[in-house]
Amino acid sequence: ELKPDVALNMLHGPYGEDGCVQGLLEILNIPYSHSGVLASALAMHKARARDIFQRADIPVAEGRMCSRHEVATGHPMKVPYVVKPVANGSSVGVYIVRTDSDGPLKELAADDWAFGEDVLVEKYIAGKELTCAVMGDRPLGVIEITSDLPFYDYTAKYAPGGSKHLLPAPISADAYARVQELALKAHTALGCRGVSRSDFRYDEATGELVCLETNTQPGMTPTSLVPELAAHEGLTFPQLVTWMIEDASLGR
């Protein structure tokens, strides 16, 4: 009979990072890495996470939750704006409606739409794409992500050469520290454990900095951000994984 000592959870998307697998591991009494049931469920649901962020004084973009059909038949807010499935990961199903858009997103009314009935619509914030990981109770460095693609989508995240990572991010010392502060604040407000990674948009022209989301199961591929941030702190990949395993527990 298989009796694992620890589950190193590297799953993404529904079931893997929304609290389901975490709940199963609790029932099976198997210690596991990363966040627990509640934090995973909250972070995965973008509208719920926004509520938590706002109550913790973490800045977010103007936005609201809509039905997909509402967005498909008319602009829910002034363009430009971003449409995101309310509970999905890896930027799958995300659209940017720009000022030169022909009209509402007809794709959301399609019969083969597979990302749920509710979407989150947020004001598009121009500027830099920044990300910061938290490991335990300390923030790591800040990366600026650049890409030749229209935005940091699934291909940009996972394909070799899909994006470039600038570490440390070329922003002011005050902005850098503020991103780290907010990443730790988001990690704490959601109740995350282990490693998390929060994504931000920063408009240098206006100074506006908003938190987009917190990932409780950040990627661990050769092109992923957390291993790169850990390496910048002097941690090898085996050391990072060892830390995650040793940090595993129940009741997270």
Domain that holds residue 180: 20-60+125-247
Q: Is residue 67 assigned to a domain?
A: yes
Q: Report the sign of the C-alpha dihedral through residues 173, 176, 180, 185, in that order.
A: positive
- Domain termination site, one of 123, 142, 173: 123
Q: Are residues 87 and 207 in the same domain?
A: no
Phi, psi of 88 (to 5 degrees): -145, 170
Q: What's at 97, amino acid-wise? A: V
pLDDT digits 0-9 by tens, 148-165: 766 555 555 555 666 799
Q: Are residues 86 and 206 in the same domain?
A: no
Tell me, what CATH number does 81's domain have? 3.30.1490
Domain count, the chain: 2
- Domain termination site, one of 78, 100, 123: 123
Q: Are residues 220 and 109 in the same domain?
A: no
Q: Are residues 100 and 138 in the same domain?
A: no
Q: Are residues 93 and 37 in the same domain?
A: no
DSSP 185-237: HHHHHHT--SEEEEEEEEETTTTEEEEEEEESS---STT-HHHHHHHHTT--H
Tell me how far CA of residue 210 lies from CA of 26, 100, 186, in angstroms.
34, 24, 12
Tell me, what CATH number does 53's domain have? 3.30.470.20
Q: Is residue 6 assigned to a domain?
A: no
Q: Are residues 38 and 112 in the same domain?
A: no
Q: Is residue 7 assigned to a domain?
A: no
Roughly what angle, to the nearest 10 degrees, separates helices 37-44 and 20-28? 170
Q: Is residue 9 assigned to a domain?
A: no
Calculate ∠ Cα 245-249-251, nearest 5°: 155
Cβ pair 226, 218 in contact under 8 A: yes
pLDDT in single tens digits along all 252 residues of the chain: 788 999 999 998 888 899 999 999 999 999 999 999 999 999 999 999 999 999 999 999 999 998 888 888 888 888 899 998 888 765 677 888 887 776 667 777 777 777 778 889 999 998 999 999 999 999 999 999 997 766 555 555 555 666 799 999 999 999 999 999 999 999 999 999 999 999 999 999 999 999 999 999 999 987 899 999 999 999 999 999 999 999 999 998
Q: Is residue 5 assigned to a domain?
A: no
> What is the C-alpha separation between 54 and 76, in angstroms, rounded?
21
Q: Report the sign of the C-alpha dihedral through residues 168, 173, 179, 184, in that order.
A: positive
Q: Are residues 143 and 240 in the same domain?
A: yes
Q: Are residues 117 and 149 in the same domain?
A: no
Q: Are residues 138 and 52 in the same domain?
A: yes
Q: Are residues 139 and 90 in the same domain?
A: no
Torsion of CA 188, 189, 194, 195, to 10 degrees: -100
Cβ pair 226, 240 in contact under 8 A: yes
> What is the C-alpha separation between 96 and 114, in angstroms, rounded?
18
- Domain termination site, one of 82, 99, 123: 123
Q: Are residues 105 and 226 in the same domain?
A: no
Q: Which residue is associated with the tokens 């694992």?
A: 4
Task: At 66, list the tokens.
Answer: 């809509």
> What is the C-alpha separation between 94 and 117, in angstroms, rounded?
14
Q: Are residues 106 and 228 in the same domain?
A: no
